[in-house]
Amino acid sequence: MSKKITGVLLVNLGTPDSPSVPDVRKYLREFLMDGRVIDIPYFSRFMLVNGIIAPFRAPKSAKEYVKLWEQRGSPLKYYGYDVRDMLQQSLGNEYKVALGMRYQSPSIKEALNELKAANVERIIVIPLFPQYASATTGSVSEKVNEIVNKWQVIPSITHINQFVDHPKFIEAFAQNGRAMLDKKDYDFVLFSYHGVPERHIHKASVGSQCQLSSCCNKFHERNRYCYRAQCFYTTRLLVEALGLKEGEYATTFQSRLGKDPWVQPYTDEYLKDLPGQGKKRVLAFSPAFVADCLETTLEVGEEFKEEFMEAGGEVWDLVPSLNDSPVWVECLEDLVKTA
């Protein structure tokens, strides 16, 4: 009898197919028309995205993507392929690993078709977001279900919806951080996460309503889907792994879009006050991302650095993301084997 094969679907957010303005516009349209990302009624979202955001933002964003683009393309995508291949290698032929992107290519549908062609009897879906947010993990799960529900044979599906406290996820980031901390003296460590609108936090409050304040300093059963609480929890675990002390670090949120309030404190505002407090040498982590992308390399690594230097800072370095770290691949292997 032939062996049963388990399918593993890795899904990241997605990136434009090229840094050209039309491709960036196409990417922004698909991304921002997702009702889990801009959660307003369809008609208003359509007008906002197609009439304002995509046309005005695309040329500006395309310039940023040109700076990010490498020989192999967008790092978010090529590290996705590298990690897929490394994971396939370590899992062996009882598993079939595929990579999909929530927006643009390779699509989730193409990746699922690869798994279907391998006749997998079960699928483990791993959205590549350590913290659960409706806009990312939730959207991936919804899309996978929408596609698979149309199949004649629906395999059993396990969704991994967060891995903030997986010891190997923490160790992989801590390892990258230690390599920097051993080389240079820093007087502050900033953990900057991608933000979400405050409204998203309230909508995801299941057992207890988040007050968007110190309640997020605790992570427990009732607030386990609070994105803000998960970010603070990730910081605490990294602080422990790195042996940092109170006063030597902070958690902040970046990349806000639009006028609505997003989760705070905002990184761009927070960093400007640091030099005045004697914190002039900063090491920044971006632990909401598992691969370097526009939001890490350019926003944290370049834009924030410029703002920090203008405010009187002296050193601003970014810890590289997990990218193709072997410990990160071990984390994924463990998530698969224990799913």
Ligand X SMILES: C=CC1=C(C)c2cc3[nH]c(cc4nc(cc5[nH]c(cc1n2)c(C)c5CCC(=O)O)C(CCC(=O)O)=C4C)c(C)c3C=C
Which residues contact ligand X (rule: CB under 6 A)?
13, 15, 37-38, 57, 61, 74, 76, 129, 133, 135-136, 194, 196, 200, 255, 257, 288-289, 293-295
Q: Which is nearer to Fe ion, 263 or 332 (CB)?
A: 263
Residue 52 interacting entry, from Fe ion, ligand X, none, C-beta within 5 to 8 Å by type: none
Outline where DSSP puts E strands in 5-136. 6-12, 95-101, 122-127
Residue 216 interacting entry, from Fe ion, ligand X, none, C-beta within 5 to 8 Å by type: Fe ion
- Contact present, 190 and 250 (Cβ < 8 Å): yes
User: Interface with Fe ion includes 5 (CB under 5 A)?
Assistant: no
In the complex, minimum distance from the CB of residue 292 to ligand X, in angstroms, rounded to a whole number: 8
User: Can the peptide bond before residue 167 be classed as cis, meaning omega within 30 degrees of 0?
Assistant: no
Residue 212 class from Cβ within 10 Å (0-12 exposed, 13-18 middle, 19+ buried)?
A: middle
Select the residue interacting with Fe ion from 21, 40, 215, 311 (CB under 5 A). 215
Q: Which is nearer to ligand X, 37 or 271 (CB)?
A: 37
User: SS3 helix, strand, coil % of the chain, rounded to 5?
Assistant: 50, 15, 35
Of the candidate spans 63-71, 85-93, 214-222, 238-246, the one that interacts with Fe ion by CB under 5 A turns out to be 214-222
Can you read off the two tokens belonging to residue 239? 């602080």
Q: Which of residues 7-66 bind Fe ion (CB under 5 A)?
A: none
Q: Which is nearer to Fe ion, 126 or 216 (CB)?
A: 216
Q: How many residues bind Fe ion (CB under 5 A)?
A: 3
Encoded amino acid at 30, one letter: E
- Contact present, 226 and 210 (Cβ < 8 Å): yes
How far is residue 188's CA from residue 245's CA, in Å, rounded to a whole number? 10
Residues with Cβ < 8 Å from 243, sequence gap 6 or more? none
User: Interface with Fe ion includes 216 (CB under 5 A)?
Assistant: yes
Of the candidate spans 20-28, 51-59, 110-118, 202-210, the one that interacts with Fe ion by CB under 5 A turns out to be 202-210
Check the annotation: does 269 bind a ligand.
no
User: Interface with Fe ion includes 210 (CB under 5 A)?
Assistant: yes
- Contact present, 284 and 292 (Cβ < 8 Å): no
Residue 102 interacting entry, from Fe ion, ligand X, none, C-beta within 5 to 8 Å by type: none
Of the candidate spans 153-161, 213-221, 282-290, 296-304, the one that interacts with Fe ion by CB under 5 A turns out to be 213-221
Q: Which is nearer to Fe ion, 174 or 204 (CB)?
A: 204
In the complex, minimum distance from the CB of residue 194 to Fe ion, in angstroms, rounded to a whole number: 5
Closest to 104 (Cα-Cα) out of 70, 86, 77, 139: 77
Residues with Cβ < 8 Å from 92, sequence gap 6 or more? none
Check the annotation: does 295 bind a ligand.
yes
In the complex, minimum distance from the CB of residue 169 to ligand X, in angstroms, rounded to a whole number: 14
Triad 147, 152, 155: Cα angle to 5°: 70
Helix axes 167-181, 326-337, angle to 10 degrees: 170
Contacts with Fe ion by CB under 5 A lie at 210, 215-216
Give the residue ranges of the annotated binding site for Fe(2+): 194, 295
